[in-house]
């Protein structure tokens, strides 16, 4: 089966009975007028639902109002800040409380549609965008939303003040000026026409925060004040995170649900059991969802009650080596590491075989062709020539007797398992690895501060686009460039591809970039994740978006009877 065909989502069909009689939703009126304020809100310790029983699916049900959606989550959020945080640990919890200027359509994810912007217009020369914003939008604290909120948020993302991290700064690289000519209009002027601009602005993490809170507090680490379909209700560390319906949401007739509760369950097996018993109706997105073997059991035993969606999550696992620190500053050492890694074995042992070999762009649209990758040193099989060449490079660099390194990794599937496999494989060229397994908070802090020798860590892009992907991890100076890699030629090509409006010319530049990166090894690319999302069939209007950070607002999700 080809890589592309493996990406197709699969699901098992039929329906599900009532999860909780107390939370049974009421039928939505046909015209979907704006619903009344929620009357049922989760407490700080919501009652656990009982396991639902299978029932026949009613014919052509209309969306229904009411009920609480229960989702599993792996860890407490480090902060609530949608600007500075990169992890799903934060974004999957706070995204339903916020809005962006535009967004990727939850039902047609390749299409960009409005969010806070009711409509927009591009200038004839492609150098400006004018967004007409929805009128009379309110923040969750009842203060009015204006274009000044959007202008300040995007300025902070584009030019973060001292001490603030902006992981998505590069995605506004084409912007020259942001203006708010009146309270309902936002104008963005570009330095050059950009092929990626609108898609980048529609990233599920490009969320708008309130000016009055940001200026008063300095950041959004401790506050959740948005314009989105759900309002923050309560958080109990290690237990639950709860949001409730926003009765003043600017989208008519949304959301359908009374609220959403996440159960914070660190253990993989316990999260799996929670789905099987019906304690939760949805698993987390990405690697913290179902493992491949768990997904197969669900498909075999519960396909009448639970859907399993299999998809490419746009996360890659990398082995990061500090570009300016010996011995990793020697390109022969980095190249030797990249050669000796046996990627099919890593995928088999760390991901139960459900992941995809790829280059520095996701497999498929922008990635190197499968046929080319299969012949490439480091990817080809059998491995004997690559291991021999890796040993030769190590000897030439003066490290025939070996290197000792401590690899920072995280106590979480599949990061820790990947590090264990890498340790074994690097021993073939006398690299003696000690694993430093850390909990998520320490792991993230050490990564940000670069207090590690080498690192096994995933990174993710929100969309299959070169500016988003390269700008996240491989451009000089960006925060998630964990190797602190820098190459003037690649930076130049990166700029050229973002300016290229001819798709064929842009793709050729992107392919050339990846070929050069395989020579320089800014990170050893191990695999692109496959993901398995488990969803009880009572849950309607929910499917994976492109990547992990889109389609997290749940405004169109409802519970069938």
CA 49 to CA 18: how far, in whole Å? 10
Return the CATH number at 206. Answer: 3.40.190.10
**538/454 same-domain check:** no
Q: Dihedral angle at the C-alpha atoms of 224, 228, 230, 231, nearest 10 degrees? A: 30
CA 509 to CA 507: how far, in whole Å? 5
Q: Measuring CA to CA, how many Å separate 253 from each of 32, 207, 347?
A: 5, 22, 44
**331/402 same-domain check:** yes
| CA-closest candidate to residue 138, choices 73, 231, 6 | 231
Question: Which tokens is 349 given?
Answer: 């042992």
Q: Give the model's pLDDT for residue 472.
A: 85
| CA-closest candidate to residue 276, choices 239, 306, 308 | 306
* Contacts for 212 with CB less than 8 Å, ≥ 6 apart: 143
| CA-closest candidate to residue 464, choices 316, 273, 269, 301 | 316
Q: Give the model's pLDDT for residue 22.
A: 31
**187/206 same-domain check:** yes
Q: Give the model's pLDDT for residue 8.
A: 32
**23/104 same-domain check:** yes
**160/86 same-domain check:** yes
Direct distance between the N- and C-terminal alpha carbons of the chain, in angstroms, rounded to an integer? 38
Instruction: Write out the chain's pLDDT in tens, 561 residues.
Output: 443 333 333 333 223 332 333 333 444 433 333 333 322 233 233 333 344 444 444 455 899 999 999 999 999 999 999 999 988 899 999 999 999 999 988 777 778 999 999 999 999 999 999 999 999 999 999 999 999 999 999 999 999 999 898 988 888 999 999 999 999 999 999 999 998 899 899 989 999 999 999 999 999 999 999 999 999 999 999 999 999 999 999 999 999 999 999 999 999 999 999 999 999 999 998 778 899 899 999 999 999 999 999 888 888 999 999 999 999 999 999 999 999 999 999 999 999 888 999 999 998 889 999 999 999 999 999 999 999 999 999 999 999 999 999 999 998 888 999 999 999 999 999 999 999 999 988 998 999 999 999 999 998 887 788 998 898 899 999 888 999 999 999 999 999 999 998 999 999 999 999 999 999 999 999 999 888 999 999 999 998 877 778 889 999 999 998
Return the CATH number at 365. Answer: 3.10.105.10
* Contacts for 367 with CB less than 8 Å, ≥ 6 apart: 358, 359, 360, 361, 373, 514
**150/229 same-domain check:** yes
Residue 388, phi then psi, degrees to nearest 5: -65, -45
Neighbours of 5 (CB within 10 A): 7
Q: Is there a contact between 285 and 458 (Cβ–Cβ < 8 Å)? A: no
CA 182 to CA 146: how far, in whole Å? 8
CA 322 to CA 35: how far, in whole Å? 54
CB-based burial, 275-306: b 16+ in 10 Å, e otherwise:
bbebbbbbbbbbbbbbbeebbeebbeebeebb
Q: For 84-199, where are the E strands, in sequence order?
A: 102-104, 112-114, 117-122, 128-133, 175-182, 185-190
DSSP for residue 125: T
Cα–Cα–Cα angle for 559, 560, 561, rounded to 5 degrees: 120
3-class DSSP string for 184-216:
CEEEEEECCCCCCHHHHHCCCCCCCCCHHHHHH
CA 211 to CA 497: how far, in whole Å? 34
Q: Give the model's pLDDT for residue 59.
A: 53
**252/372 same-domain check:** no
> What is the DSSP secondary-structure string of 22-48?
GGPPEEPPTT-PPPPPPS----SSPPP
| CA-closest candidate to residue 2, choices 317, 527, 370, 375 | 370
**326/438 same-domain check:** yes
Per the structure, the complete domain to which residue 522 belongs is given by 312-530
- Residue 235, SS3? strand
SS3 content of the chain, % helix, strand, coil (to 5): 30, 20, 50
Task: Name the β-bridge partners of 528.
Answer: 316, 356
CA 397 to CA 431: how far, in whole Å? 13
- Residue 313, SS3? strand
**492/522 same-domain check:** yes
Q: Give the model's pLDDT for residue 324.
A: 92
**289/395 same-domain check:** no
**415/549 same-domain check:** no
Q: Give the model's pLDDT for residue 46.
A: 33
**378/294 same-domain check:** no
Neighbours of 87 (CB within 10 A): 14
Domain count within the chain: 2
CA 195 to CA 174: how far, in whole Å? 10
């Amino acid at each position: 089966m080809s890589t592309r065909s493996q990406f197709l989502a699969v699901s098992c069909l039929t329906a599900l009975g009532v999860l909780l009689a107390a939370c049974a939703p009421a039928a939505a009126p046909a015209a979907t007028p704006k619903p009344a304020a929620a009357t049922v809100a989760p407490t700080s310790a919501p009652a656990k639902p009982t396991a639902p029983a299978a029932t026949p699916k009613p014919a052509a049900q209309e969306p229904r109002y009411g009920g609480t959606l229960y989702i599993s989550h792996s860890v407490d959020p480090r902060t609530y800040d949608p600007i500075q945080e990169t992890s799903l640990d934060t974004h999957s919890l706070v995204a339903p409380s916020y809005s962006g200027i535009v967004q990727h359509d939850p039902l047609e994810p390749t299409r960009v549609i409005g969010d806070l912007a009711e409509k927009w217009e591009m200038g004839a020369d492609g150098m400006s965008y004018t967004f007409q914003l929805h009128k009379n939008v309110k923040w969750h604290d009842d203060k009015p939303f204006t274009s000044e909120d959007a202008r300040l948020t995007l300025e902070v993302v584009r030019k973060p003040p001292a001490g603030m991290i902006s992981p998505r700064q590069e995605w506004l690289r084409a912007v020259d000026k942001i203006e708010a000519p009146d309270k309902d209009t936002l104008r963005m002027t570009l330095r050059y026409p950009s092929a990626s601009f609108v898609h980048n602005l529609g990233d599920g993490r490009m969320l708008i925060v309130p000016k009055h809170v940001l200026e008063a507090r300095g950041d959004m680490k401790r506050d959740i004040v948005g314009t989105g379909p759900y309002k923050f209700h309560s958080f109990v560390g290690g237990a639950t995170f709860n949001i409730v319906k926003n009765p003043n949401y600017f989208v008519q007739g949304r959301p359908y649900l009374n609220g959403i509760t996440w159960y914070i369950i660190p253990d993989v097996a316990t999260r799996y059991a929670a789905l099987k018993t019906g304690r939760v109706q949805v698993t987390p997105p990405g690697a913290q969802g179902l493992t491949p073997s768990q997904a197969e059991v669900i498909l075999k035993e519960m396909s009448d009650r639970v859907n399993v969606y299999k998809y490419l999550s746009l996360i890659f696992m990398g082995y990061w080596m500090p570009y300016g620190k010996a011995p990793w500053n020697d390109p022969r050492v980095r190249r030797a590491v990249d050669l000796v890694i046996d990627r099919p074995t890593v995928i088999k042992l760390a991901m139960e075989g459900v992941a995809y070999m790829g280059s520095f762009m996701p497999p498929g649209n922008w990635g190197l062709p499968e046929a080319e990758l299969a012949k490439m040193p480091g990817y080809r099989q059998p491995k004997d020539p690559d291991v021999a060449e890796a040993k030769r490079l190590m000897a030439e660099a003066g490290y025939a007797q070996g290197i000792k390194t401590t690899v920072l990794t995280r106590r979480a599937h599949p990061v820790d398992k990947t590090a264990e496999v890498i340790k074994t494989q690097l021993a073939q060229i006398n690299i003696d690895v000690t694993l430093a397994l850390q909990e998520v908070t320490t792991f993230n802090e050490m990564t940000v501060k670069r207090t590690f020798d080498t690192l096994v860590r995933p990174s993710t892009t929100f969309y299959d686009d070169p500016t988003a992907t390269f700008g996240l991890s491989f451009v000089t100076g960006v925060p998630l460039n964990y190797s602190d890699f820098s190459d003037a030629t690649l930076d130049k090509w990166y700029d050229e591809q973002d300016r290229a409006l001819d798709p064929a010319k842009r793709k050729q530049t992107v392919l050339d970039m990846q070929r050069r990166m395989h020579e320089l090894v800014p990170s050893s690319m191990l695999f692109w994740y496959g993901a398995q999302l488990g969803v009880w069939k009572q849950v309607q209007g929910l499917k994976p978006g492109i990547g992990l950070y889109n389609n997290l607002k749940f405004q169109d999700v409802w519970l069938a009877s």
